[in-house]
Amino acid sequence: MCEILIKINCPHCQSSKVVKNGKKRNGEQNLLCRSCGKQFQGRYRHPGADPAVKQLAIRLLERNSGIRDIEELLGISRRCILDNLCRQGTRLKIAPARQHYQSVQIDEVWSFVGKRKKGKYWLLYAYSPEADEILAYSCGSRSASTVRELLKQLEGVAVEHYYTDHWKAFAQVLPPEKHTVGKAYTKNIEGVNTCLRARNRRLVRKTTCFSKKKENHLAALNLMFSYRNKQKAKHHTF
Ligand SMILES: [Zn+2]
C-alpha cells in the first residue's frame, strides 16, 4: 500500500512521518504518526481536543500561567485545562535519579487546598544540593506521618546525612546520628522554596489561586517538580 506523507508534524513527538489514516466520524481527516504510533486529526473543531493546544496549556502551567489566563489565551475551558493538568501531572513521577546522596535537605512549605479556613496543607520535600535535584515530596498535616511518607520514597537510596529546620516531627522520624538541625544547613533548600513560591501561584503567600481539589494540587506539584528537575540541566531557567 502506498502511503502519502503529510506535511504536518506530529503534535505528540514532532516527527514529520505523518500519514493519512482514514476519516473521523465527524468528517475530519484522521492522521497517524509513524514514529510514535499516535493518531490525531488534521483539524479540531474544539481547540481543547487538539493535542498541540493541550501541550501548550501544560507549557503555560509550567511557566506559572493561571487557569483563567490560559482559558482566555487559548480559548479552551477551565474544565478542559484542569482535566489535562490532572492527566499529565499524575503521570509524572518524582523519584531520586541517583542511588547515593551525601546530603539531603528537607523543608516544608504550606499552602491551601479547598477552603482556606480548613487550614494549611503542608508540602514536605527532599532536596539534594549536590545534584540540585528534588528527590521526593509528601503532602498532608504537619506531622510525623507526613515525614515518614517522604522517607518511604527514599527507601533504597543511600543518604549519608539529613539537614532540616527545628520542626519537631523531623527529630521524631529521622535517625539522630544522620540528622543535623539548624537553619544554617538548609540555606540551599530555602532558596529553592523562594523559587517555588515565585514559580507556582498555588504556593504564593496570601494567594487566591489555591487548588479547590487535592488531586489538582498534587498534579500541579508533580508538574512543577518534574519541570524544575528537567530545567536545572539548562542552567536554572526555572
Ligand atoms: Zn508522533
Ligand 1 centroid from CA 50, angstroms: 14
The Cα 29–Cα 199 span in angstroms is 39
Cα(20) to ligand 1 centroid in Å equals: 13
What distance in angstroms lies between residue 83's CA and the mean position of ligand 1's atoms? 22
pLDDT tens digits, 212-227? 788 888 888 888 889 8
Q: Residue type at 225? A: F
Residue 24 Cα, ligand 1 centroid: separation in angstroms?
Answer: 18
Residue range 100-234, CATH number:
3.30.420.10
Mean predicted lDDT score pLDDT of the chain:
87
How far away, in angstroms, is 37 Cα from ligand 1 center? Answer: 6
pLDDT at position 196: 82
pTM as predicted: 0.77
Q: What pLDDT shows up at residue 116?
A: 64
How far, in Å, is the centroid of ligand 1 from the Cα of 235? Answer: 28
Instruction: Measure 53 CA to ligand 1 centroid, in angstroms.
Output: 15
**Which three three-digit cell numbers place residue 163?**
539537614
Q: What CATH number was assigned to the domain covering residues 1-43?
A: 2.20.25
Question: How far away, in angstroms, is 131 Cα from ligand 1 center?
Answer: 32
Q: Which residue has the higher pLDDT, 238 or 142?
A: 142
- Helices 187-199 and 214-231: crossing angle in degrees, nearest 10, is 120
pLDDT bin (cut points 50, 70, 90) of residue 207 is: low
Measure 224 CA to ligand 1 centroid, in angstroms: 24
Q: How far is the CA of 119 from the centre of ligand 1 (A)?
A: 44
Whether residue 4 is predicted with pLDDT greater than 90 in this model: the reply is: no
Give the Å distance between the CA of 133 and the centre of ligand 1: 29
Distance 110 CA to ligand 1 centre (A): 39
150-176 average pLDDT score: 95
Q: Is residue 67 within 8 Å of residue 58, measured between CB atoms?
A: no
CA of residue 136 to ligand 1 center, whole Å: 30
First vs last C-alpha separation in the chain: 48
Domain boundaries, the chain: 1-43, 48-91, 100-234
Distance 130 CA to ligand 1 centre (A): 36
What is the arithmetic mean of pLDDT over 159-165? 96
In 3D, which of 138, 131, 130 has the Cα closest to residue 107? 138
Report the pLDDT value the prediction gives residue 217, as an integer from 0 to 100: 85
Confidence at 94, pLDDT banded by 50, 70, 90: very high
Does 1-43 match 100-234 in CATH topology?
A: no
**152 Cα–ligand 1 center, Å:** 36
Residues 137, 199: Cα–Cα separation, whole Å: 17
